[in-house]
């Protein structure tokens, strides 16, 4: 598969943003992470004074055959029901996106049900759920490629409509299981250490989930040197779609706000596919899912927020829109020492 060409991070624009930060009416560095974020955003966008008025959250949805193994506290039917909730504007992501003045796009990557055509819903269904990865590959390589390409196509279409910054989210009952498998493959950590309770498993369910993930990895032998192989063996259609969103956005200098554990697993894959996407990634928050910290450490990302979130949907990423605006507004709108007639540091 031919991945999109990723531009270099623009160090010149980042440097100019840094220089401006150093002249604003405050001690240098006193706005902390907001200053660093504004500088990163300048380098991503190749604009020394960037703005991001056109925001979108893209939610990828898909089901997982591994739910046959009883690894989720909720039935797979909830995936379809929640997609309908998204479309009706009643989910947490809808509330938080409205607050951030961001549009929400939902993509059916592989929900195990059909939908009527609806505004805000894109159909890129590859199959009605993946196969049970405990008993074989979750998908074939061609399907893995199609899932990534679908993500690229979706974000390119949204960029054509007008998009400055992207938050990514997902919906898929059982998707913490493939995400744990992907995380284990790339971090080398024990499955038990990077696996959480998902939607609320008890102790017995948790130990069973760990066993299923371990058996899936042992049975399928995913090749960590081949991201598409890992995706096909132990991934999900929506996870591949998220990786495609990352690649497609970075190719057009669009910053990507990662959400939690599942989007983090997708980021692991995207960075393996094309390492130059890494500077375009912003970790919105640290999830309470056990493996998320390991993912962020692997990617070298520091989360902006730590709010004990574990919902998914892109909720943490949507909250980070407000910090993005704060960072670039202070960069662009604060007066410099000379403009304000304030004495600078001697």
State how far the Cα of 91 lies from the Cα of 82, in Å rounded to an integer: 8
State how far the Cα of 339 lies from the Cα of 114, in Å rounded to an integer: 59
Note if 313 is an active site residue: yes
State how far the Cα of 222 lies from the Cα of 306, in Å rounded to an integer: 32
Annotated catalytic residue: which of 274, 313, 333, 346? 313
State how far the Cα of 207 lies from the Cα of 70, in Å rounded to an integer: 11
State how far the Cα of 150 lies from the Cα of 248, in Å rounded to an integer: 10
State how far the Cα of 71 lies from the Cα of 211, in Å rounded to an integer: 10
State how far the Cα of 175 lies from the Cα of 170, in Å rounded to an integer: 9
Which residues lie across from 165 on neighbouring strands? 55
Output the six-digit token pair for 42: 């300048």
Total Cβ atoms within 10 A of residue 278: 17
- DSSP 8-state assignment for residue 67: G
Helix (H, G, I), strand (E, B) or coil at 182: helix
Q: Which candidate, 63, 86, 271, places its Cα nearest to that of 178?
A: 63
How far is the first Cα of the chain from the last one, in angstroms, to the nearest whole number? 57
Q: Which candidate, 267, 68, 106, places its Cα nearest to that of 183?
A: 267
Query: What are the helix (H) ranges across 127-202?
Result: 141-162, 176-187
Give the HSE-up count for residue 233: Cα atoms under 13 Å, Cβ half-sphere. 22
Q: Which candidate, 169, 158, 195, places its Cα nearest to that of 55?
A: 158
Catalytically annotated residues:
313
């Amino acid at each position: 598969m031919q991945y999109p060409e990723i531009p270099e991070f623009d160090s010149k624009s980042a440097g100019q943003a840094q220089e401006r930060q150093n002249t604003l009416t405050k001690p240098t560095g006193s706005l902390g992470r907001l200053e660093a974020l504004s500088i990163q955003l300048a380098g991503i966008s190749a604009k020394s004074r960037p703005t991001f008025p056109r925001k979108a959250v893209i939610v990828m949805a898909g089901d997982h055959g591994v739910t046959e193994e009883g690894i989720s506290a909720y039935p797979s039917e909830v995936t379809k029901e929640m997609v309908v909730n998204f479309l009706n504007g009643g989910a947490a992501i809808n509330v938080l996106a409205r607050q951030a003045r961001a549009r929400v796009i939902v993509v059916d990557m592989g929900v195990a049900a059909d939908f009527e055509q609806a505004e805000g819903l894109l159909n890129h269904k590859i199959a009605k759920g993946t196969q049970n990865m405990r008993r074989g590959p979750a998908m074939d390589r061609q399907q893995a490629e199609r899932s990534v390409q679908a993500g690229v196509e979706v974000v390119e279409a949204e960029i054509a409509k007008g998009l400055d910054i992207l938050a990514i989210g997902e919906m898929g009952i059982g998707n913490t299981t493939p995400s744990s498998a992907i995380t284990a493959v790339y971090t080398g950590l024990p499955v038990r250490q990077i696996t959480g309770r998902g939607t609320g498993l008890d102790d017995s369910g948790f130990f069973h989930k760990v066993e299923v993930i371990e058996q899936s990895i042992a049975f399928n032998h995913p090749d960590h040197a081949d991201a598409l192989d890992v995706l096909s063996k132990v991934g999900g259609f929506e996870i591949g779609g998220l990786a495609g969103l990352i690649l497609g956005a970075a190719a057009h200098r669009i910053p990507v706000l990662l959400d939690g554990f599942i989007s983090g697993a997708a980021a692991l894959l995207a960075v393996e596919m094309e390492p130059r996407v890494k500077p375009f990634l912003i970790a919105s928050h640290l999830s309470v899912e056990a493996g998320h910290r390991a993912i962020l450490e692997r990617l070298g990302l520091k989360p902006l927020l730590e709010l004990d979130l574990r919902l998914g949907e892109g909720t943490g990423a949507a909250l980070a829109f407000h910090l993005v605006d704060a960072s670039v507004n202070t960069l662009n709108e604060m007066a410099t020492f000379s403009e304000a007639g304030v004495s600078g540091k001697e």
